[in-house]
Amino acid sequence: MSSTETTLDTASRQRLVQIARDSIVHGLKHGRALPIDARDYPDTLRVPRATFVTLHKDGELRGCIGTLEAHRPLVEDVADNAFNAAFHDPRFVPLRAEEFPHLDMRISVLSPPMPMTFRDEADLLAQLRPGIDGLILAAPDHYGTFLPSVWESLPRAEDFLRHLKRKADLPADYWSSELQMQRYTTEAF
């Protein structure tokens, strides 16, 4: 993390989790994210940060939406991403009220993405830090990201990269000089 980013204290983390939950409840009742006025929150929650909110229901993925670039206050990003993970992840039908009690939530606060330089796929794989790096893959007309938490299910760098290519709708063995990669870390809770 850069010097402008600080690790969130326990109270800030708990507050963000509550805001995410409140935003989903607000969405169930009103069809939109919880309105947030960042001025009502401490400085640590007003700093622009990029986040992902991941929802699991009974241990299975139920939604995951986020932003890769910081463009709004942390508290707003969490509220909007929680709402969108519950109701606008295109892989799932919108969350129903009876599912809410069964949700587990994970918030990931991202560091700014850093471009990677590599000669070939072997060089890229050698640079990856399993369990630490999130990756953003960009190729002409293709794009995808994996959070660092994906390493839990894909612990080998080769598998992580191969599945990320598939997520970006590319063949697992795709390689091109136009391929661009960025890495980031997360503070997840």
Q: What is the pLDDT of residue 5?
A: 59
Model pLDDT for residues 47-88, shown as the tens digit of each residue:
999 999 999 999 999 999 999 999 999 999 999 999 999 999
Q: What is the pLDDT of residue 4?
A: 46
Which backbone phi and psi does 23 adopt, to 5 degrees? -65, -40
Model pLDDT for residues 3-45, shown as the tens digit of each residue:
345 689 999 999 999 999 999 999 999 999 999 999 999 999 9
Q: Sign of dihedral through CA atoms 19, 25, 29, 30?
A: positive
Q: What is the pLDDT of residue 2?
A: 40
Q: In the CATH hierarchy, which fold is given to the domain comprising 114-188?
A: Dna Ligase; domain 1 (3.30.1490)
Model pLDDT for residues 111-133, shown as the tens digit of each residue:
999 999 999 999 999 999 999 99
Query: Could you count the other beta carbons within 10 Å of the beta carbon of residue 35?
Result: 10
The highest-level CATH class for domain 10-110 is alpha beta
Amino acid sitting at position 16: L
Task: Report residue 35 as tokens.
Answer: 């309105």
CATH 3.30.700.20 residue ranges in the chain? 10-110
Q: Which helix (H) or strand (E) holds 116?
A: none
Question: CA-CA distance, 38 to 24, in Å (whole number)?
Answer: 18
Model pLDDT for residues 149-159, shown as the tens digit of each residue:
999 999 999 99
Dihedral class, residue 26 (left if φ above 0, else alpha if ψ from -120 to 50, else beta) = alpha
CATH 3.30.1490.150 residue ranges in the chain? 114-188
